[in-house]
């Protein structure tokens, strides 16, 4: 499967999962020192070969469609970690809703309520609000001081990186579910995972989590 074919399939999965209303959101995949990213206004459920732009990792538009204004956000995750080979940015409803609330903690806006969030996504900080397309969003995600592969953008949505497109889409879906559960339990006395359980899950699955020092 070519990178374009994989991107088209990933876009359809995101729409089918309810994570990309209308023409919102964008996805990308890394090929060597370049990335293919959906162009401005592309609908993720109707992608075709002409829907994509090709950029260098320095942000130079090399060919294809008019580049998405969110391209710097994607580049920030690629430049942060060479293991990031695909990026999904969506305005999914529960992620957007949770991004409009105060974060659970400095290192993660989302509390560890289920093992699957810790295993598949890991800590997900809330990045400061910037207007959509602000190049500083890429700087924010690149310079975050703790290990991450996902973040909420304040009052905006979510961005997730993966080892490939299937991995990134899976994490985006799990992140949306974690946000939904956090919102559903917000008004209750909820039971979070014990910090030792969180640390054990993160270590076993190799997911990022800045746990407090435990005796």
| Cα–Cα distance, 31 to 36 (Å, whole number) | 7
| Cα–Cα distance, 174 to 142 (Å, whole number) | 22
C-alpha torsion 89→169→209→146, nearest 10: -30
The CATH class of the 3-205 domain is alpha beta
| Cα–Cα distance, 150 to 143 (Å, whole number) | 13
Please write the tens of the pLDDT for every residue from 100-125. 999 999 999 999 999 999 999 999 99
In 3-state terms, what secondary structure has residue 65? coil
H helices then E strands: how many in the chain?
7, 8
pLDDT for 22 equals 81
| Cα–Cα distance, 25 to 175 (Å, whole number) | 15
pLDDT for 185 equals 97
pLDDT for 211 equals 66
- Residues of the chain whose pLDDT is less than 50? 213-215
| Cα–Cα distance, 58 to 78 (Å, whole number) | 10
| Cα–Cα distance, 113 to 111 (Å, whole number) | 6
Beta bridge partners of 149: none
Q: Which residues are catalytic?
A: 70, 116
**Which of 102, 57, 95 is CA-nearest to residue 77?**
57
Going by their DSSP bridges, the two strands 126-127 and 150-153 should be labelled as parallel
Q: Write b or e for each residue in 101-115: b if 16 or more Cβ atoms lie within 10 A of its Cβ, otherwise e.
A: bebbeebbbbbbbbe
Please write the tens of the pLDDT for every residue from 158-194. 999 999 999 999 999 999 999 999 999 999 999 999 9
């Amino acid at each position: 499967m070519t990178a374009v074919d994989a991107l088209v399939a990933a876009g359809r999965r995101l729409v089918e999962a309810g994570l990309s209303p209308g023409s919102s959101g964008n996805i990308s995949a890394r090929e060597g020192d370049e990335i293919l990213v959906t162009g401005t206004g592309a609908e993720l459920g109707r992608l075709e070969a002409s829907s994509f732009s090709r950029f260098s990792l320095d942000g130079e538009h090399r060919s294809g469609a008019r580049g998405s204004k969110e391209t710097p956000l994607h580049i920030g995750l690629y430049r942060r970690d060479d293991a990031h080979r695909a990026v999904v940015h969506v305005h999914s409803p529960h992620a957007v809703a949770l991004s409009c609330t105060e974060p659970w903690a400095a290192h993660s806006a989302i509390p560890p309520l289920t093992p699957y969030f810790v295993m598949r996504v890991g800590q997900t900080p809330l990045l400061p609000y910037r207007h959509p397309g602000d190049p500083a969003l890429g700087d924010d995600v690149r310079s975050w001081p703790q290990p991450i592969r996902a973040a909420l953008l304040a009052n905006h949505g979510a961005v997730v990186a993966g080892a490939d497109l299937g991995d990134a889409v899976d994490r985006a879906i799990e992140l949306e579910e974690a946000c939904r559960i956090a919102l559903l339990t917000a008004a209750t006395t909820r039971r979070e995972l014990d910090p030792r359980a969180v640390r054990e899950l993160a270590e076993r699955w190799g997911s990022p989590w800045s746990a407090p020092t435990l005796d």
